[in-house]
Chains A and B, each alone.
Chain A
Amino acid sequence: MTTDRWRTSLICLGAALLLSVPILSGCAGDKGPAEAAIKAAEEAVSATVAEASKYVPDQTKSLQAALAATKEKFAKGDYTAALADAKSLTDKAKEIASAAGAKKAELTKAWEGLSTGMPKVLDAIKGRVDVLSKSKKLPANLTAEKFASAKSGLDEMTQQWTAATESANGGNLMDAITKGTAVKAKAAEVLTALGMPVPDALKG
């Protein structure tokens, strides 16, 4: 009985080994192509990352993580999966490069609008603050506290606008837009406090 069981086990083991040979040889056959595909994916990812990280940072991070995971699969000998992943990574890198390009165009347009319009608004506020600073008495709709707040708001906006412009000049449009949008919101608040009209671009 024991000998029979032993024999059965040997037969099963042999069968398992025989079956695994083609599978293993199939995996090993993917090693070269996987290596080449990973190299191509690495090149596609590195060509994309520098620009894409500025405009689509989350997608760029996930692309880098996917590349790392693909390399790990390769290191563990899972060449078939590594090959498939590497091939799709190259396509994904192209998609992300395209998304980054679209985002860059969108941000460039938004910054062009802000950088053309915001200085006019700040000039208008500064002009009014300068005149009111010379006034012996403030207008009926403006308290001393509101005026003091508007003046400090103007200083804050001027500094933030300078920072936004520096970010844009440094190629960081995301940061420039974030800061510029904050200036825009503050400007609407200050204009209202001063009893001045709020331009359409600052509404909503």
Chain B
Amino acid sequence: MEDKSQQAGGADAWDATQWHVVQKGETLSKIAQQYYGDASLYPKIFEANRDVLKDPNLIRIGQKLRIP
């Protein structure tokens, strides 16, 4: 299975932020299920990405999301 998480940029050697690149068919709930084991925690991901997301139901393929 492809590792969809990656570290940001690499400019900051201390950055422990986990990133997720949205794949086809994914929703915030599915992503929350993957990282937290609980789909209902999707608002945590939405809140952490308010700079790029306006609506939790609207995410785009290839979008890079911060996983808190």
In contact, B7 and A199 (Cβ under 8 angstroms): yes
Q: Could you tell me the distance in whole angstroms from the C-beta of B17 to the nearest C-beta in chain A?
A: 6
Chain A 114-140, CB-CB to B under 8 Å as 1, else 0, gives: 001110110011011001101111111
Given A127-B68, A197-B7, check contact A120 B37 (CB 8 Å): no
- Closest chain B residue to A195 by CB distance? B35
Size of B's binding interface in residues, CB under 8 A: 21
Q: Could you tell me the distance in whole angstroms from the C-beta of A179 to the nearest C-beta in chain B?
A: 17
Given A131-B41, A131-B68, check contact A139 B35 (CB 8 Å): yes
Given A128-B68, A131-B68, A197-B18, check contact A140 B13 (CB 8 Å): no
Can you list 30 A-B contacts (CB < 8 A)? A116-B14, A117-B12, A118-B14, A120-B14, A120-B16, A121-B14, A124-B17, A127-B68, A131-B36, A131-B41, A131-B44, A132-B37, A134-B41, A135-B37, A136-B37, A137-B37, A138-B36, A140-B37, A196-B16, A197-B7, A197-B18, A198-B16, A199-B7, A199-B12, A199-B14, A199-B15, A200-B13, A201-B14, A202-B14, A202-B16
Give chain A's interface residues, CB within 8 Å of chain B: 116-118, 120-121, 124-125, 127-128, 131-132, 134-140, 142, 187, 191, 195-202
